[in-house]
Amino acid sequence: MTHEHHDVIVLGGGPAGIAAAAAAAKNGIDTLLVEAGPMPGGELLSGMSIDGLLNARGQYVVGGISDELFAECREMGGFLGPLCDYRLICYVCCDPEIMKIAVSRLLRRYGSRSLLHTLATDVVTDGSRVTGLVVANKGGRMLLGADYFLDCSGDGDLAVMAGAPYEAGGSSGELQPVSMAFRMVDVQTEALLRFVVDYPENVALGESEYIRGGRTNGELAVELARQGQPCVFFKGNGPLLAQAIRDGEMFPTALVMIQPTSAARREVCVNATRVASTVPGTDVARLSEALPELLEQVWTAASFLRRQVPGFDSSTLSGTAPRVGIRETRRIMGEHVLTGEEAVAAAKHSEVVAKGAQHVDIHQAGTGQVRIPIADGGSYDIPWGCLVPKALPNVMVAGRCLSATREGMATARTMGPCLAMGQAVGTAAALCVRAGLRDVRGLAVAVLQQKLREQGAVLDGVR
């Protein structure tokens, strides 16, 4: 077994992981990013909108590393900007093909090394302290040592292997369904938006009091169309989709969400598929079995759109996400547990290190989905303790495996907060290494907050 040592090792190359690796390296620390897939970026490469970056008021509540990432996309013509679905949220849309290059440039800029195609299989510990991560790839097994380990795996793999306490799913073990985003080209935006204005009863609109602002669905549909972008959320209980489900033309789903990815290609991303809540994202066999069904649903949904939705008449399927989308697995229990009540109330916290603004969003089997807006169109704070697992001195977590209740995770799991949490733990690890701290709890939160603010993170000044 070969051996390497780095100041910081980041496990997982999704939004949280790339932000963590970039932030640690930006602060002058030797950083290695370990990713099981062939390319870093995770869901950023799926074509899905990046939720939780802005509150419903249109204010950015995440900044810093995310700003640098979007600047790269903008320079290459792959940034479509902030948009609103006039339902619950505002979000950012980017071209996923451009995003691949932007992520690579971001990591390369600060000298963060990546080890791709590599699976974490075990940890080495000295008491409660993690001293090494055992990984495997086609080159064999390796032992990766580090002063600090950042678990951005989504599933909390490293933390669980090290003995951190965790929770998973709901009270009966239910999990949010897995899915597969897909893209379609040659979509005629004008025809689609005209259909939305003419038949607003098919579209989810004004689901928060702030967004509605006393307006009718018809008025909100006009505002949606005025953006000139294909941002449309067809609801499962609307006449169009409900009838298609009854007729067997569509599978049971709560939504067919359409978001732009490229104006040049007239391309959109579609979020519609789901395989029910009995598939654990950590069960590789079950996840593998779900893939064929998800791909069949992709074809079913694409065919439904072509037949039934104006603007899709001449469209074609252009691609699927690079991996199955997993919404929920483990939550690592830490020094603070973010609750759904805190998030919905737009609660603020003295130890804030990241923010979120996405509604509580719990997808369920069939046509079910829970959507609870954040109060007054605002945002909530993610405290430092949510990223510090109990009993582990040199491990931090970021992303959907944060310390939270199921409802708290259901809002913080989106890409915006994941980018913010990743920047927080990457910066914290760099500060700990530079100060020679052996336990992250020795880091003064005020020092971390100051550094985050200096480097563009949004911790205050917004609703």
Domains and CATH numbers, the chain: 2-169+328-358+377-454 (3.50.50.60), 182-320 (no CATH)
pLDDT of residue 21: 98
Going by pLDDT thresholds of 50, 70 and 90, the confidence category of residue 433 is very high
Task: Report the chain's mean pLDDT, rounded to a whole number.
Answer: 97
**Per-residue pLDDT tens for 6-41?**
999 999 999 999 999 999 999 999 999 999 999 999
**Per-residue pLDDT tens for 204-236?**
999 999 999 999 999 999 999 999 999 999 999
Count of CB atoms within 10 A of residue 380's CB? 30
pTM: 0.98
**Across-strand partners of 380?**
356
* Percentage of the residues of the chain whose pLDDT score is greater than 90: 97
Please work out, in degrees rounded to the nearest 5, the angle formed at the alpha carbon of residue 292 by the alpha carbons of 287 and 297: 110
Rg from Cα positions in the chain: 21
Query: Please, are residues 261 and 100 in contact by the beta-carbon 8 Å criterion?
Result: no
Q: Which one-letter DSSP state was computed for residue 28? A: T
DSSP 166-215: EEESSTTS--PPBB--EEEES--HHHHHHHHHH-GGGB----SHHHHTT-
For residue 278, pLDDT beyond 80: no
Going by pLDDT thresholds of 50, 70 and 90, the confidence category of residue 172 is confident
